[in-house]
Structure 1
Amino acid sequence: MELLCLEMDTSIRARPDPNLLRDDRVLQRLLTIEERFLPQYSYFKGVQKDIQPFMRRMVATWMLEVCEEQKCEEEVFPLAINYLDRFLAMVPIKKCNLQLLGAVCMFLASKLKETRPLTAEKLCIYTDNSIRPQELLEWELVVLGKLKWNLAAVTPNDFIEHIVRRLPLADDKLVLIRKHVQTFIALCATDFRFAMYPPSMIATGSVGAAICGLQLDSADQSWGDSLTDQLAKITNTEVDVLKECQEQIERVLESSLREGRQQQQQQQQQTQRGPSGKGLDELDQASTPTDVRDVNL
């Protein structure tokens, strides 16, 4: 009974296998199959008539907030976005069903990556009960059928360890670098411009942006070749293409920080205009962001 209680109270995670991470065949296999899991073309130009890029961004941002609040594993959100993009590249849907599709994709991704997956009931609560659990379960079968049950997609997170362990980085810096890289990957997932980028390129560009942002490349004298050259060799990426990807990631980060500051200022102004003694949590009790509710209308 004691062992059962311990298992129920903790999430069991497998540790990275150093033998797999050191084996170049594993990395090469990931590079070989990664494009199988990409949308074949920009679905806003051909498939989707009722959905616009800004709607996808709203729903993707909402999905990220749900994953963060539920403390999901880092792999869940990028994988859910992969399902979302692959489905939208094949099936035209109405904008009122976009949040439902996002919830289904999180539902499937958490089942694949979490020891304790998100429940249908909990996801419905996050939509402000705009969908029902039975509706989510019905759509789950639809999405699975369209994806041909091919859920073990390659995402940028699969490349992180393979990349960082091939760079001359101090062990005490790895945790911080991983955290920054995962943040960059999540930002890229919310931006449709990265939807058709190979996962290896997003991961490599995110690692480069993280290291440059932390100024580890200038502090460490053991790099030899430039950081970009080393990263390009690891994932067989052209240097110029990688530089452009990294610069685009950095621009997305700057834009996100600027928007965050603007939202914070707006929230402060709303607080000042609100009833005396009430905080932000009391002023807005919605379970889902207002902009996502607008998409559903």
Structure 2
Amino acid sequence: MGEAAQQKKGSECEKEKEGDLFGNMELLCCEVDPMRRALPDPNLLYDDRVLHNLLTIEERYLPQCSYFKCVQKDIQPFMRRMVATWMLEVCEEQKCEEEVFPLAMNYLDRFLAVVPTRKCHLQLLGAVCMFLASKLKETIPLTAEKLCIYTDNSIKPQELLEWELVVLGKLKWNLAAVTPHDFIEHILRKVPLPKDKLLLIRKHAQTFIALCATDFNFAMYPPSMIATGSVGAAICGLQLDDGDSLTDLLAKITNTDVDCLKACQEQIEAVLVNSLQQVRQQQQQSNPSKTVDELDQASTPTDVRDINL
């Protein structure tokens, strides 16, 4: 075999090896789960100083005022609820971490508490807040382009990036806000219930926290109270409580007044009932021929364009 033929054969072998290598790498990439979740750190979870520090600093991240009374003239509470519902739907569809939506709402409330904002900019503000929260909490953050698509391209990526700097400035780049999710694991580890029950409680409590974030009445509540009330509402809803003993324990864990905790829990449960009734009414109007069971399984899209006029 000539030298040229040997070189050609060697080159073909190298290409085959390279092809096998990239083929194996492609298979490996497909097998790796890109949405890996970090496990709780026991050194942080079982150190009561962490919970104490969270309770100490949580009020720093509350809105400065009830902004519908003293700051906002163009935006109404129902508009905030519509944008919040849209943001929740985006986070759920994108399978974001549970912390992303409440954190984004924290940014939105803190911004609206200091900056008078036109209603036509409210959805843009919501998109920016999700953009920032996902950067802080997600392994793979939401992109500006994807968020613009969710607004039916009513905003452009460049506009979102410009507003990102505005929001960061008004929040003084203080993005590591304390949210109710920060307290959930600290509370649950001290609740004397089986592990399988605690998993159910966590799931229900996360739903309650998201529900509270959509309702402005909870915007000024300390995150620890919302977290404790959500856990209490979950325990009550799952019929795992045994009188007032668990309520007293929950109040003690987060240094919350028992009566305030009960009032918060009742308010959370009332918001849930009201929310379910509104969803059923909307679905009944759009699908009058469907039964109640069918309506419960249906989804209700949110049209934020109604407030962008």
Q: Tell whether the structures are fold-level matches, with TM greater than 0.5.
A: yes
**CA deviation map 1:177-220 (0-9, x unaligned):** 111000000000000000000000000000000001000113xx
After superposition, residues 263-274 of structure 1 pair within 5 angstroms as 263-269=282-288
Q: Quote how far apart the aligned CAs of 1:5 are.
A: 1.5
Aligned equivalents of 2:174, 2:27: Cα separation in 1:
35
What residue number does 2:245 align with? 226
Worse-superposed segment, 18-27 or 92-101 = 18-27
Q: Quote how far apart the aligned CAs of 1:157 are.
A: 0.4
The two structures, once aligned, show a CA RMSD in angstroms of 2.0
Question: Does the aligned pair in 1 maintain the 2:64–2:114 contact within 8 Å?
Answer: no
Larger radius of gyration, structure 1 or 2?
Answer: 2
Match of 1:201 among 221, 225, 228: 225
Q: Quote how far apart the aligned CAs of 1:10 are.
A: 2.1
Aligned equivalents of 2:201, 2:272: Cα separation in 1:
15
What residue number does 1:69 align with? 93
Identity of aligned residues (%): 81
| Ranges in structure 2 where 5+ consecutive residues have no aligned partner | 1-24, 291-297
Match of 1:122 among 131, 142, 146: 146
Aligned equivalents of 2:271, 2:238: Cα separation in 1:
17
Q: Quote how far apart the aligned CAs of 1:294 are.
A: 1.3
Aligned equivalents of 1:168, 1:3: Cα separation in 2:
45
Q: Is 1:251–2:263 an aligned residue pair?
A: no
What residue number does 1:236 align with? 255
After superposition, residues 83-98 of structure 1 pair within 5 angstroms as 83-98=107-122
Q: Quote how far apart the aligned CAs of 1:22 are.
A: 1.3
What residue number does 2:305 align with? 293
Aligned equivalents of 2:107, 2:32: Cα separation in 1:
29
What residue number does 1:143 align with? 167
Aligned equivalents of 2:26, 2:255: Cα separation in 1:
50
What residue number does 2:20 align with? none
| Ranges in structure 1 where 5+ consecutive residues have no aligned partner | 272-279
Q: Quote how far apart the aligned CAs of 1:19 are.
A: 2.4
Aligned equivalents of 1:26, 1:7: Cα separation in 2:
36
Aligned equivalents of 1:241, 1:192: Cα separation in 2:
18
**CA deviation map 1:63-91 (0-9, x unaligned):** 00110111111000000000000000010
Structure-2 change in CA distance of 1:212 and 1:289 (3 Å) = closer
Structure-2 change in CA distance of 1:7 and 1:150 (3 Å) = farther
What residue number does 1:275 align with? none
Partner amino acid for 1:296? N
Question: Does the aligned pair in 1 maintain the 2:148–2:155 contact within 8 Å?
Answer: yes
Aligned equivalents of 2:140, 2:71: Cα separation in 1:
35
Aligned equivalents of 1:270, 1:105: Cα separation in 2:
39
Query: What SS is found at the alignment partner of 1:131?
Result: coil
Number of equivalenced pairs: 278
